[in-house]
């Protein structure tokens, strides 16, 4: 027994020695190279070897011959053969050898020509690694299991964890998780089949990455290995690579804690640039606007609500009422009521973008303008998942420019993709649903959404799980009015159809309670007038444009300027230069701030001009009615304050 130990030890040493020797070797093809060229080439290869992850070198156990060739398009850097050869463009050899490549700028994120060459070697090696099916053991086991399952039971019968796993052929580029992050999400309703086109096209370091998942993997590997800011610019992908290799490059920037976003709120007087600190996000809610008769809205609209705590408030349920802090993530096509073409919607002509909006604006839009109610249902997500959703939303905000198909790629689908990619929650992976209301049911069914908050409607309203349509409120207000004043009208519609001047005499007779009702009803009347005015002006605008009759020229010109100036709010990447990619970093912040506030100021001036010009387009009778309506509103307000003061009510400081 005793004599066995040294033998065992020797065996272990031998084994270790073997693994140390095995692994990737890059051999320079020296034929035709002078000593200086050989030396410069070898230095490049050595540097590449040093940049590679240990697992990469260990697993890609082979010799790869690297040579210089003329047989390549002049603008290409290099290419790899299928298995064990790598060619570099001979055009570049001279500048590598004399050292000028190290200082020659490329105006791409890598910076210099030499850096591009280094990136090329890493890129091409990654292709070989990707093709070599070098899965970690657990993943290999999963793939085998899933392949067996799918050949015996077919795609319909496979468990969720097997989605996208059967018959995988690449180490990285057909991994479902990678495809989620990279921008080739699952088609809904097709059992894991992937979308063909990548729409994460803004703020790309190299748009070539979107040409295929294989290129995506190779391009991102360049940045993972060479760019210390990669972890901050593409945090989710950074973690993906880090996890796969069990290693990350030692050089890494310290990332900011919060994410920048452009607030697309409609208040032009406010600086649109904002920040979300994931630490302050207490919960993520599924926010669903109920359907109405309009066909576009027939399935409702689904959004996500970020329940953000006020500064200084510890994360907890109290944050639910910090309503002024909450933000809504909403994928929107451009949808206006009358002009919307259903055909264009169905064929995906409307761009789909991720907008970040203040909650209060969204509530007003739906409950007061569209008269639809909203339900806000908390999602059961872990702390990590919540932060993942916020992070992914920020990434999509800056990079995504999609097509909006009402049926197959609507808000529910986009929202599902965002949740799936952001959380990587197993329960979401196998979810196939394309309708907003249906999605909520499915989320509930899988225990991901807690709809019990809606069980008691009064509590739900009080705590902000439900925001009721003002249609119901206007009716309730009218009932109060009817009870307290001897008005003749029996229906709220009839009351609102009266002229403002006919309603006015009642204001002075109202007590406090009735005045409050009158106030909301005057608001309802005003909104109604707005809708009518919008329609009239639109008709006149269309007519005037056809006739070129001068009246619209000035307004039209201003309008074009506004268009040109406001696009940035929905395409935030336009504000930044081409130097950076992914999430904006501190050195890009200043530019972001100055650019956005500059454009904001221009917008404010322009909208002021337009106000004057378009006001002139109103029918005189419409303008008079609106003015009278505004006067009523003012009078009710004054009447209310008078009553309040007379009753000795509390005055807020």
β-pairing, 402-404 vs 374-378, is: unpaired
DSSP bridge partners of 357:
328
Of 10-18, 49-57, 229-237, 368-376: span binding other proteins (CB under 8 A): 368-376
Of 74-82, 85-93, 238-246, 645-653: span binding other proteins (CB under 8 A): 645-653
Question: To which residue do tokens 């009753």 refer?
Answer: 647
Is residue 649 a contact point for other proteins (CB under 8 A)?
yes
Is residue 651 a contact point for other proteins (CB under 8 A)?
yes
Apex CA 283: angle with CA 584 and CA 301, to 5°? 85
* Shortest CB 30 distance to other proteins, Å: 54
Question: In this complex, which beta carbon is closest to other proteins, that of residue 420 or of residue 503?
Answer: 503
Residue 643 and residue 515 in contact, taking contact as beta carbons nearer than 8 Å: yes
Residue 399's closest CA among 576, 597, 226? 576
Is residue 322 a contact point for other proteins (CB under 8 A)?
yes
* Shortest CB 633 distance to other proteins, Å: 8
Is residue 519 a contact point for other proteins (CB under 8 A)?
yes
Question: In this complex, which beta carbon is closest to other proteins, that of residue 364 or of residue 588?
Answer: 364
* Shortest CB 552 distance to other proteins, Å: 9
* b/e 488-512 (16+ beta carbons within 10 angstroms → b): eeeebeebbeeebeebbebbeebee
Q: Out of 526, 589, 597, 601, name the contact with other proteins by CB under 8 A.
A: 526
- Lookup: tokens for 174: 């057909």
Contacts with other proteins in 249-308 (CB under 8 A)? 264-267
Is residue 619 a contact point for other proteins (CB under 8 A)?
no
Question: In this complex, which beta carbon is closest to other proteins, that of residue 128 or of residue 552?
Answer: 552
Contacts of 91 by beta carbon, 8 Å cutoff, 6+ apart: 70, 74
Question: In this complex, which beta carbon is closest to other proteins, that of residue 172 or of residue 460?
Answer: 460
Contacts with other proteins in 531-590 (CB under 8 A)? 533-535, 537-538, 541-542, 545, 555, 559-560, 562-564, 566-571
Of 37-45, 127-135, 359-367, 430-438: span binding other proteins (CB under 8 A): 359-367
Question: Is the four-CA dihedral 454, 458, 464, 470 of positive or negative sign?
Answer: positive
Question: In this complex, which beta carbon is closest to other proteins, that of residue 121 or of residue 264?
Answer: 264
Contacts of 448 by beta carbon, 8 Å cutoff, 6+ apart: 379, 380, 381, 425, 427, 428
List, as one string, the DSSP characters of 443-474.
HHHTT-B-GGGGSSHHHHHHHTSEE--HHHHH
Is residue 475 a contact point for other proteins (CB under 8 A)?
no
Is residue 355 a contact point for other proteins (CB under 8 A)?
yes
Q: Out of 158, 178, 520, 576, name the contact with other proteins by CB under 8 A.
A: 520
234: left (phi over 0), alpha (psi -120 to 50) or beta: beta
Question: In this complex, which beta carbon is closest to other proteins, that of residue 216 or of residue 470?
Answer: 470
* Shortest CB 183 distance to other proteins, Å: 20
Distance of CA 117 to the CA centre of its chain: 33
* Residues binding other proteins: number (CB under 8 A): 86
Residue 453's closest CA among 445, 440, 463, 443? 463
SS3 readout for 21-45 = HCCCEEEECCCCCCHHHHHHHHHHH
For the chain, helix, strand, coil in percent to 5 are 55, 10, 35
Mark residues 595-614: x for contact with other proteins by CB under 8 A, - for none: ------------xx-xx--x
Question: In this complex, which beta carbon is closest to other proteins, that of residue 298 or of residue 641?
Answer: 641
Contacts with other proteins in 166-185 (CB under 8 A)? none
- Lookup: tokens for 317: 């349920």
Residue 278 to residue 235: CA distance in whole angstroms: 13
* Shortest CB 605 distance to other proteins, Å: 12
Is residue 129 a contact point for other proteins (CB under 8 A)?
no
Question: In this complex, which beta carbon is closest to other proteins, that of residue 207 or of residue 360?
Answer: 360
Question: In this complex, which beta carbon is closest to other proteins, that of residue 157 or of residue 457?
Answer: 457
* Shortest CB 130 distance to other proteins, Å: 36
Of 44-52, 353-361, 410-418, 498-506: span binding other proteins (CB under 8 A): 353-361
Is residue 516 a contact point for other proteins (CB under 8 A)?
yes
Q: Out of 530, 547, 557, 605, name the contact with other proteins by CB under 8 A.
A: 530
* Shortest CB 422 distance to other proteins, Å: 22
Question: In this complex, which beta carbon is closest to other proteins, that of residue 9 or of residue 360?
Answer: 360
β-pairing, 25-28 vs 63-69, is: parallel
Is residue 370 a contact point for other proteins (CB under 8 A)?
yes
Apex CA 222: angle with CA 216 and CA 224, to 5°? 95
Mark residues 72-111: x for contact with other proteins by CB under 8 A, - for none: ----------------------------------------
Question: In this complex, which beta carbon is closest to other proteins, that of residue 71 or of residue 651?
Answer: 651
Residue 145 to residue 244: CA distance in whole angstroms: 20
Contacts with other proteins in 433-452 (CB under 8 A)? none
For the chain, state the CA radius of gyration. Answer: 31
Q: Out of 351, 430, 438, 551, name the contact with other proteins by CB under 8 A.
A: 351
Of 187-195, 221-229, 282-290, 637-645: span binding other proteins (CB under 8 A): 637-645
List, as one string, the DSSP characters of 239-300.
HHHHHHHT---S--PPPPSSEEEEB--S-TTS--EEEE-GGGEEEEEEEEEPP-SSGGGTT-
Mark residues 455-474: x for contact with other proteins by CB under 8 A, - for none: ---x--xxxx--xx----x-
Residue 42 and residue 5 in contact, taking contact as beta carbons nearer than 8 Å: no
Is residue 338 a contact point for other proteins (CB under 8 A)?
yes
* Shortest CB 257 distance to other proteins, Å: 23
Q: Output DSSP code: residue 431.
A: -
Residue 114 to residue 103: CA distance in whole angstroms: 8
Residue 437 and residue 455 in contact, taking contact as beta carbons nearer than 8 Å: no
* Shortest CB 570 distance to other proteins, Å: 4
Residue 122 to residue 233: CA distance in whole angstroms: 20
């Amino acid at each position: 027994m005793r004599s066995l130990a040294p033998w065992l030890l020797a065996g272990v040493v031998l084994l270790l020695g073997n693994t140390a020797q095995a692994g990737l070797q890059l051999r320079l093809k020296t034929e035709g190279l002078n000593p200086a060229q050989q030396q410069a080439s070898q230095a490049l290869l050595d540097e590449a070897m040093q940049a590679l992850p240990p697992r990469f070198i260990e697993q890609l156990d082979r010799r790869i011959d690297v040579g210089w060739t003329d047989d390549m398009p002049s603008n290409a850097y290099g290419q790899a053969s299928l298995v064990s050869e790598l060619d570099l463009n001979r055009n570049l050899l001279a500048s590598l050898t004399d050292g000028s490549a190290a200082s020659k700028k490329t105006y791409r994120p890598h910076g210099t020509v030499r850096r591009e060459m280094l990136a090329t070697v890493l890129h091409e090696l990654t292709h070989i690694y990707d093709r070599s099916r070098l899965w970690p053991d657990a993943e290999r086991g999963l793939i085998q299991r899933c392949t067996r399952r799918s050949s015996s039971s077919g795609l319909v019968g496979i468990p969720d964890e097997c989605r996208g796993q059967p018959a995988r052929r690449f180490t990285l580029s057909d991994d479902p998780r990678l495809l989620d992050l990279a921008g080739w999400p699952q088609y809904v309703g097709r059992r894991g089949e992937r979308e063909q086109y990548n729409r994460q096209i803004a703020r790309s370091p190299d748009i070539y990455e979107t040409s295929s998942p294989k290129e995506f993997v190779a391009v991102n590997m360049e940045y993972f290995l060479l760019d210390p800011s990669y972890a901050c610019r593409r945090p989710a992908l950074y973690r993906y690579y880090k996890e796969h290799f069990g290693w990350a490059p030692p050089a890494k920037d310290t990332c900011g804690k919060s994410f920048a976003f452009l607030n697309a709120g409609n208040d032009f007087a406010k600086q649109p640039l904002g920040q979300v600190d994931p630490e302050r996000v207490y919960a993520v809610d599924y926010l669903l606007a109920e359907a109405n008769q309009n066909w576009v809205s027939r399935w409702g609209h689904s959004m996500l609500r970020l329940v953000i705590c006020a500064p200084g408030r510890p994360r907890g349920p109290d944050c639910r009422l910090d309503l002024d802090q909450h933000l809504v993530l909403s994928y929107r096509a451009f949808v206006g009521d009358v002009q919307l073409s259903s055909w264009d919607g169905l064929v995906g002509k409307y761009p789909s973008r991720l907008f970040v909006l203040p909650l209060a604006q969204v509530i007003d839009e739906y409950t007061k303008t569209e008269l639809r109610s909203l339900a806000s249902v908390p999602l059961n997500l872990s702390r990590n998942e919540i932060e993942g959703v916020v992070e992914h939303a920020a990434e999509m905000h800056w990079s995504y420019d999609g097509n909006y198909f009402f049926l197959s790629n609507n808000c529910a689908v986009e929202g599902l993709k965002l949740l799936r990619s952001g959380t990587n929650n197993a329960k979401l992976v196998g979810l196939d649903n394309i309708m907003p209301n249906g999605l909520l049911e499915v989320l509930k069914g899988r225990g991901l959404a807690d709809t019990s908050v809606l069980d008691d409607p009064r509590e739900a309203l009080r705590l902000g799980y439900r925001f009721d349509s003002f249609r119901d409120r206007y009716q309730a207000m009218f009932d109060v009015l009817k009870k307290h004043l001897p008005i003749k009208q029996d229906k709220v519609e009839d009351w609102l159809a009266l002229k403002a001047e006919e309603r006015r005499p009642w204001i002075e007779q109202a007590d406090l309670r009735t005045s409050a009702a009158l106030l909301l009803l005057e608001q309802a009347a005003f909104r109604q007038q707005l809708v009518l005015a919008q329609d009239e002006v639109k008709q006149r605008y269309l007519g005037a444009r056809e006739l070129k009759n001068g009246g619209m020229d000035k307004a039209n010109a201003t309008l074009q300027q506004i268009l040109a100036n406001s696009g940035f709010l929905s395409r935030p990447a336009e504000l930044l230069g081409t130097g950076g990619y992914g999430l904006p970093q501190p050195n890009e912040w200043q530019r972001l701030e100055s650019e956005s506030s500059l454009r904001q100021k221009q917008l404010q001036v322009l909208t002021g001009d337009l106000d004057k010009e378009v006001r002139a387009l109103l029918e005189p009778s419409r303008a008079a009615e609106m003015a009278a309506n505004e006067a009523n509103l003012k009078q009710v307000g004054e009447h209310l304050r008078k009553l309040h003061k007379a009753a000795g009510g509390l005055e807020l400081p």
